[in-house]
Chains A and B, each alone.
Chain A
């Protein structure tokens, strides 16, 4: 369970996250949706202690993120941001191996090696494992970083726009993988996502934000309603039911 209460963050005079109180249930996939500038990514970086908050508290699995030692948090929660820039030349396997740092402190054991190889396999990276990260395409690099946080083997997995840079095939595979992590390994997955239809098809809970505020929280069935989406995005979105999933049509 991730509990947020009264979370606020401002940049200068602009309030990017405004008094957000919510509970993200354990297990399952939770998507955060909203237009550009809604504060989704900022909220994720506040939850994951990448940025300090101005007010409020966040507890991840009972650990207060402002007070718990960073290393202990790193064994409970992993975060991946959209932009990941490397200044050094690193092989994919070495990058993924860094995911074990919170557990091994830099001296990987046999068990750590197992986690690394499994993460590489789950993201289809075994053929690329000995390539340098800067030789990969954008989508492959994205997968390499996701493999790193996967190797971290945490109960909570936070991903900021994981579908960025991925084509349709890899987007679907990514969401299926996240679904599997939640269903089979019991992880709690929180993603910031732009495509409302991916959110609708693959998540259990959706948080809808706008202007720094949390407008709605609910199941895909509750959020995928024309009036709710109109309030969030300011456009008319028709909802169609296709194969049991609610799909928003916003092309006309």
Chain B
């Protein structure tokens, strides 16, 4: 079976035949990339009339925001599931975006809405992201770096923390001045239609940096998916890498929440689909695949909704509906062990 070098002979390799019959991850990725490109082009060009100098930049900002959110949500969910060695919990389910909303509320409450409205968007965003990283480190790090990890415990902690943070946010919102609350509401229910171009550029830089860091970590992420003990055996500094991934997830969640508000089940939907399509564990394929899938789902979905059904803001509702059903399905199928 094996020659002296320990390598299989060419005849043996031929006998083993092709490694897989399903489309290879490279093909899947190429199809997804083409679909994303098609969605972007269609979104920019369909129904184009009137003042192009006005409409095109408007649409470009919208597409940019959707691309960034797709990458941020896809990558953060994938990496989060990898370091926690589970396929069902996501940063959103664990309350990360509730944390970000709480921070935004607390900042408005402490500084005052009028002062905040005149502050530079980039600076405000930087402060919020920093707070987000610090707080998520305090709240979640102990949960994921410990030796014993129970998924039930994590899910419970996530639900309790999420409820607590949402409760604390709404308490602060009731205490604050109604005019400040309106400013806050603007922040929360920002949709793709009203994205600040400055914020978009800052977000693009942030997401790009984190995505590059994630790509460099791809082999280590593969090892982390084997579970804590195997990863430690294979020489991964588990505590450091998990903390680092947690920081990256916090930043990505902050970006996507700042751009379009919370989306609870979108990440779960995209990552589960990504695993199904790639049929491969390797992050070399998974990282780009979930980003592209997210982009196709968001841009394509928005396009269909706007142009075919004539609706404007219902995409998140549809995504949450599909994602929520998937979440229930995964729970009932016993993925949470």
Residues of A within 8 A of B5 (CB): 114
Task: State in angstroms the CA–CA spacing of A78 and B218 once bound together.
Answer: 22
Task: State in angstroms the CA–CA spacing of A107 and B229 once bound together.
Answer: 21
Task: State in angstroms the CA–CA spacing of A210 and B232 once bound together.
Answer: 27
Q: Does B237 contact A (CB under 8 A)?
A: yes
Residues of A within 8 A of B237 (CB): 69-71
B: which residues have CB within 8 A of A?
Answer: 1-2, 5-8, 16, 19, 85-87, 147, 218-220, 222-223, 225-227, 229-230, 232-238, 279, 281
Q: Is the CB of B6 within 8 A of A105?
A: no
Contact of A87 among B7, B86, B223, B234 (CB under 8 A): B86
Q: Is the CB of A102 within 8 A of B235?
A: yes
Q: Is the CB of A49 within 8 A of B232?
A: yes
Q: Is the CB of B6 within 8 A of A86?
A: no
Q: Does A118 contact B (CB under 8 A)?
A: yes
Q: Does A88 contact B (CB under 8 A)?
A: yes
Q: Return A101 CB to nearest CB of chain B, in Å.
A: 5
Q: Can you sample 11 A-B contacts with CB below 8 Å?
A: A71-B235, A73-B235, A78-B233, A87-B85, A89-B281, A98-B234, A101-B223, A114-B5, A115-B6, A117-B8, A130-B16
Q: Does A79 contact B (CB under 8 A)?
A: yes
Q: Is the CB of B147 within 8 A of A88?
A: no
Task: State in angstroms the CA–CA spacing of A118 and B7 once bound together.
Answer: 8
Contact of B218 among A72, A106, A115 (CB under 8 A): A106
Q: Is the CB of A50 within 8 A of B234?
A: no
Q: Indicate with 1 or 0, residue by residue over A88-100, a CB within 8 angstroms of chain B CB atoms.
A: 1110001000110
Task: State in angstroms the CA–CA spacing of A151 and B227 once bound together.
Answer: 18
Task: State in angstroms the CA–CA spacing of A73 and B87 once bound together.
Answer: 30
Q: Is the CB of A88 within 8 A of B234?
A: no
Q: In residues 59-113 of chain A, which contact B (Cβ within 8 Å)? A: 69-75, 78-81, 84-90, 94, 98-99, 101-102, 105-107, 110, 113
Q: Is the CB of A107 within 8 A of B219?
A: yes
Q: Is the CB of B234 within 8 A of A81?
A: no
Task: State in angstroms the CA–CA spacing of A105 and B220 once bound together.
Answer: 8
Residues of B within 8 A of A90 (CB): 281
Q: Does A203 contact B (CB under 8 A)?
A: no
Task: State in angstroms the CA–CA spacing of A45 and B230 once bound together.
Answer: 12
Residues of B within 8 A of A75 (CB): 235
Residues of B within 8 A of A72 (CB): 235
Residues of A within 8 A of B7 (CB): 110, 113-114, 117
Q: Is the CB of B229 within 8 A of A99?
A: no
Task: State in angstroms the CA–CA spacing of A152 and B233 once bound together.
Answer: 10
Task: State in angstroms the CA–CA spacing of A90 and B227 once bound together.
Answer: 13
Residues of A within 8 A of B86 (CB): 87
Q: Is the CB of A50 within 8 A of B233?
A: yes
Residues of B within 8 A of A51 (CB): 147
Q: Is the CB of A102 within 8 A of B220?
A: no
Task: State in angstroms the CA–CA spacing of A89 and B279 once bound together.
Answer: 8
Contact of B235 among A86, A101, A126 (CB under 8 A): A101
Residues of B within 8 A of A49 (CB): 232
Task: State in angstroms the CA–CA spacing of A90 and B226 once bound together.
Answer: 10
Q: Is the CB of B234 within 8 A of A121?
A: no
Residues of B within 8 A of A50 (CB): 147, 229, 232-233
Q: Is the CB of A121 within 8 A of B230?
A: no
Residues of B within 8 A of A94 (CB): 281
Nearest residue in B to A75 (C-beta to C-beta)?
A: B235
Nearest residue in A to B81 (C-beta to C-beta)?
A: A87
Q: Does A149 contact B (CB under 8 A)?
A: yes
Q: Is the CB of B87 within 8 A of A87?
A: yes
Task: State in angstroms the CA–CA spacing of A224 and B306 once bound together.
Answer: 80
Q: Is the CB of A80 within 8 A of B16?
A: no
Residues of B within 8 A of A48 (CB): 232-233
Nearest residue in B to A77 (C-beta to C-beta)?
A: B233
Q: Which of A50, A74, A88, A107 has the most CB of B within 10 A?
A: A88
Task: State in angstroms the CA–CA spacing of A87 and B231 once bound together.
Answer: 13
Q: Is the CB of B2 within 8 A of A117?
A: yes
Residues of B within 8 A of A45 (CB): 229
Task: State in angstroms the CA–CA spacing of A38 and B125 once bound together.
Answer: 54
Nearest residue in B to A90 (C-beta to C-beta)?
A: B281
Known: A86-B227, A114-B7, A117-B7. 10 other contacts (CB 8 A): A71-B236, A72-B235, A74-B233, A87-B225, A89-B281, A94-B281, A99-B234, A113-B6, A126-B2, A130-B19
Residues of A within 8 A of B235 (CB): 69-75, 101-102
Q: Which of A70, A86, A89, A105 has the most CB of B within 10 A?
A: A70
Contact of B223 among A78, A98, A110, A149 (CB under 8 A): A98
Task: State in angstroms the CA–CA spacing of A102 and B219 once bound together.
Answer: 11
Q: Is the CB of B219 within 8 A of A105?
A: yes
Task: State in angstroms the CA–CA spacing of A26 and B256 once bound together.
Answer: 54
Task: State in angstroms the CA–CA spacing of A106 and B227 once bound together.
Answer: 16
Q: Is the CB of B233 within 8 A of A106?
A: no
Residues of B within 8 A of A98 (CB): 222-223, 226, 230, 234
Residues of A within 8 A of B19 (CB): 130
Q: Which of A99, A117, A149 has the most CB of B within 10 A?
A: A117
Task: State in angstroms the CA–CA spacing of A77 and B253 once bound together.
Answer: 38
Contact of A106 among B219, B226, B279, B281 (CB under 8 A): B219
Q: Is the CB of A85 within 8 A of B227?
A: yes
Q: Which of B2, B223, B226 has the most CB of A within 10 A?
A: B226
Task: State in angstroms the CA–CA spacing of A118 and B8 once bound together.
Answer: 10
